[in-house]
A and B are shown apart, each in its own frame.
Chain A
């Protein structure tokens, strides 16, 4: 596990500009006046946390500053990390495979969030853990989506069930489940088509998929994860809210955190919907999918390096 967390931090640290520098500038002055507070607020806004979390962090820092005027940027960053960690308490999703045979994981999300790539990475991860995995290619809409996931399946030698372009995605889900069951797979991962949460007809399609899976196995899907693009802003919260309505979610996967974006919108999502974050995507390689750690995330974002903090 240690190795995993290390990589997680490295991925985020690689490019993420930390707050420390900004904070140092703010706290080098004589007093924390309204200008300095505004600067602080703006620095925090760059992470897409959302107003509420920003406000909380500022309040904490202000209180600490009142108590100790000699505060430095580093101390402020530490406070920020602590508040963020508190906000994200309970946000670490963990899966125990084996309670269901097969365990059904369903990935949903808007266009271009990275569902297909994540499906492949996820399958790879579980396969490396010794589980027998099957992929269900339920994106029957986008041109060549089938080929894309098929390619991954070949490359990582993962079992796959797919259909024709334009086929009914719920039917593919049905077939994938049946196949996983009869072939004795531990996990079936269903990759769905990207859809904007504002398209009610496409959301209805998801509802149907849900019904079809449930008909086969009332407890399924055991995990319904929304794949969120980490570089998006506040709209992610709206996405999560709408998807949750049509397709009850059990958690999130945040992708594209290897850039300079900090994926702060997940904080807003967690605050509102309390959906735990299971994995984060930190790169384009098959093993760049890592379990989420609130502590590491918070520290990486605020640029706190020492392990004892």
Chain B
């Protein structure tokens, strides 16, 4: 077996490290076993929905949602509101640009 911490399911094993990588989430080594065990138990509980016979149900994409959704529209916001948003940003350059770490040159 490939080394690592696994979620035990009825039919398979799920590698918690792979799931954490997909989630962009660092899990402390000391917590992996417990979190994997917890997720295994939750999946065991929700497993029951797989047995539901829903063949008579319409395709959800054709069912109207309870909310009368409108088109998404970009609104006007006050200058103060925009300033507060920028203040929450981790880094702002002297010429007012929002700074982030470089996305290129990363380890893949």
Chains A and B form a bound pair: no
Residues of B within 8 A of A (CB): none
Interface residues, chain A, CB within 8 Å of chain B? Answer: none
